[in-house]
Chain A
Amino acid sequence: MPEAATTLDVREASAQARVIEIKGDITAASEDVLMDAYGRASGPGVKAVVLDFTGLDYMNSGGIGLLVTLLVRAQRQKQRVLAFGLSDHYAQIFELTRLDEAVSIHDSEEDALAAAGAS
Chain B
Amino acid sequence: MSTEQPTHEQQAAARDATSWAKSVSRLNVAEVPEGAVNINVEGKRLASPIQGFGKMWQKTYQVRLPQERVSATDLIATWKARFPDFWPEGNAFYGPLTGIEPGDVALLNMALPGKMKLSTGVMVLYADDESFTLMTPQGHMFAGWITFSALERDGETVAQAQVLMRASDPIFELGLTMGGHKQEDRFWNQTLASLAAHFDHDCEVDTKVVCVDKKRQWSKWRNIWHSSAIRSTLYMVGAPGRALKRLFVRDRAVA
Chain A residues engaging chain B, CB cutoff 8 angstroms: 2, 5, 25, 28, 57-58, 60-62, 65, 68-69, 71-72, 76, 89, 92-93, 95-99, 101-102
Contacts and interface: CB of A to CB of B under 8 A. Distances in A.
Interface stretch (B111-119, B128-136, B227-235): B128-136
Contact of B51 (A57, A69, A101): A101
Nearest to B58: A69
Given A61-B133, A65-B145, A72-B213, A97 B12 contact: no
Contacts of A68: 48-50, 164
Interface of B: 8-9, 11-13, 15-16, 19-21, 23-24, 45-51, 56, 58, 125-126, 128, 131, 133, 135, 145, 147, 149, 162, 164, 212-213
Contacts, number: 70
Given A68-B48, A96-B23, A2 B11 contact: yes
B126 A60 contact: yes
Interchain residue pairs A-B with the least CB separation, the first 8: A58-B12, A61-B133, A61-B126, A57-B12, A92-B23, A72-B213, A102-B50, A98-B48
B157 to A, nearest CB: 15
A62 B20 contact: no
Nearest to A29: B151
B15 A58 contact: yes
A59 to B, nearest CB: 8
A61 B51 contact: no
